[in-house]
Structure formats: C-alpha cells, structure tokens
Structure 1
C-alpha cells in the first residue's frame, strides 16, 4: 500500500530533482573536469595565525643530560643527569655556537674591494726622477767597450790603418782544414754490457749469499752436535711386561664376557638389548 501511495515521477523530472540538490559550481562543472567559469578565480589563501613564542616558566637552569661540551675536557659526555638547578659545567665560549642565522653571512653590496685598496700604485718614471733620482743609478757598471767607456766610434777626421793586405786563400785553407780534421767522436747512446768489467763472472752479491747460507748451516750443525741424543727406544723391564700382560688379559676378559652375553640373543624385545647388540 505504501508503494502504491508513492507518486511516480517521470524520468526527466527525477533527473531534474537530483541535479537541483547539487551546488551551482558542481552543477555546471562537467564530469571530465574541463574548463568551467566557476573555476577561473582562484580561492583566497587561508592565513594561519602564528602562535606566540613558547617561553619556559622555569628560570634558566642547566639542561638535563646535556651533551653540549667542548672536546678535550675532563668532563663526561653528558652533564646534569639528576636535573639539579646548577650552572653549566663548561662555560660558553665566544663564537662557539651553531652559527649565525640564515642570511647573515651574505656579503654587503656597499662594501666591496676597490682598485689599489690593498696595494700601492707603481710611480711613473717622471715621478721617480723628481722624488728619488738616486734609485735610477745602477749599482754595478758594465765593462768598458768601444762605444761605452772606450772612447766611442772613430772621429770624423781620424784616418784608418792602411795597407793591411793578406795573401791567404781562405777557400783553399778552409777546404784543407776540413779534410785533415779528425772526425768528431760521438758518444755511444747504447751501453755495451759485453765490455763490462764483471761480464761473465759471478756477481759479488751471490758470494755473500753463499757465505751467509754456509754460516747458517754450520750453526745448525753445531746446535745438533751439542744437543744430547734422545732415547727413542728402550727395553721394557720384567715388571712392566707382566703388568701390561695382566692389563691386556683383564680387558680381554671384560670384552669377551660382554660379547658372549649378547651375541647369541635373537629376540631383541627391549631398547636396552637393542642398544647393547648394536655395540657388537
């Protein structure tokens, strides 16, 4: 009866009633997430307020089980294990921290290295001549030559030495000297080992090695000769022989008794009999 009393809506009206329950942005946004006019404007950012800085209510006591100690001290690796309100075991030193905050090591754009800031400029030659002419005087003079300290070139009116004539034929003289000259001995770059002084002989170090080996062998022979020879075999006395025979007979009797007691058993109905049988 309840089903018959429920009104039956057309298919188109049912789809329209379901779509009216959605929000407007979702209604116009297609299912394949394409561009929609409701998604053009970005949402406003949510600013989360920053909480206040935490400040401990307890005074500045030394931290419990602190491991911040400088190396090379006689203190243990951790201090204030009991949590007592005492000062630091090792006092803080200057610049002994985790470093400056981020951004404090950046260079200052207004402070930069300028030209000739850490060195002086080289003065010019004119300035040196005016201020310090003694620095240009050479400390050591060269030997006098024809042009410097030797009188200079000949004067204009000075006559040269005349009638200096030779009859030597330099072409023929050079040819004769070249023919009669001994050839130059070039050094041999390849070393000839066949012409060595010790070629074909036993090297000296081998004689030394042989002497060392002979000395070691002689020392070993002396040690062996000085030591007393140990007795490897000795005859048994009559008492030792009889005691050994008695021991062997007693052992044989024990083994034979155990063997005769178990070797004829054919019915092994207990674990003990089975174990004793396995021994023989």
Structure 2
C-alpha cells in the first residue's frame, strides 16, 4: 500500500490557495471623544474673549497703515524728551603749522648790552620788605639748645652699652675658669712646616705644568689637572695660615 504526500513550499504556488477563504471583518475601536468642551475659553489665559478675533483686523483697519518704528500709539504715546545737556565751551585750538611759503624773520640784531642792563636794573631795584607775619626762629626759647629727645636717645644708648659690657665680662669670666685647650706652635716647627709645604707645592706644580703641555683628549687627564689645581690651592691656604702674624695655636689631643 503506497502513500501519497504533497510537499508545500512557500516559494511555489500551493494547492491550498485555490480553496476560497472566508472574509474577516475588521472591528474598529470606538472613536476617542474628549470630555472637555472644545468651544470653552482657555483657562488662565490673558486673551479671554478674544480667541475668535485673533488674526483678524478690528474696526476695519487698513492693513497698510500699521505702526512703524518710533510711531506713537494710543496706549504708549511718545513723551517729549527734556534736553538739559549743555555743551562745554570749546577749547582753544593750537596754532596752525606754518606753510611752506611762510619764512621766519632772520637777520635781526640788537645793540643792547645785557650785562650792563642787568647791572643797572639790580642797582635801581627796590629792596624787598620782609614779611612781618613770618616767625623769627632766632627768638625761640629753645634756640641753640640740645633737643630733649636727643638726651633720651643718648641715655638709652648708654644703658645698652652697659648691658653689653656686663654680658661680655660675664662670658670672659666663664672662659677664664676653663682649662686651656690650645698650645702655641713653636717657631722652629712652623718654619720647618712652611719649607716642607713649599717643597710639596713645587713638586705638584711641576707635574701640573707638564700635564698642561699636552692636549687634553681624555677625561682622566682633565680629572688629574683639576686634582692638581685643588691640591695646590689647599697648600696655598695652609701657607697663608702659617705665615700670618701672631702666634699659631694648636688644639690639644
């Protein structure tokens, strides 16, 4: 017994499409109706009662005769402006620049002797009368006397000096009570030390002069040169201390 099956493919026409299908009625939902009255005026509006007239000309006004800039209206008429501003007086102008055709006056000479004229004017001048209202400082009570504040300043300076002397005296007393910590270097020992330092400086200087004759190409040669310079500077500082005037003190132990 054989069985027969029909393969239905969506890409090809199906035999089931030949069977008429019943029409389906579309059921529409009820129409929406607002519960508010559309003809009622808008609440909290500034144009109550003017809604039907918006966009319309009132009182048959001419659309060409509209208000333009700076045109007074019935509600806001233009008020006359009081102009109380006074312009300041014009400043005097500077003299004009002379033109190219104007020539200065040249070649004028005078025979007046200004030295003689000044001398005659000084001789014939009336002496000035001193002003009686000006104070005469020569008749003051404290004229020629030392001011009081200078005496106070001098007294303060003396008090400060006394305090400093007392402090130094106290420090010296405390230093005298302590045992001596230094001894004076003998003169013979100082002379020997100076000769040895000079001999050492000559030896270092000889090495330094030989090194300076060569061109410094490497870093170690430059380092040796700086070491010689530092050593000679130290020897010179020691020689300066040893050759200074006065006794040379050496600390104990």
**Whose RCO is larger (CA < 8 A, sep 6+)?**
2
User: TM-score range with shorter-chain normalisation?
Assistant: under 0.3
TM-score by length of 2: 0.21
TM-score by length of 1: 0.19
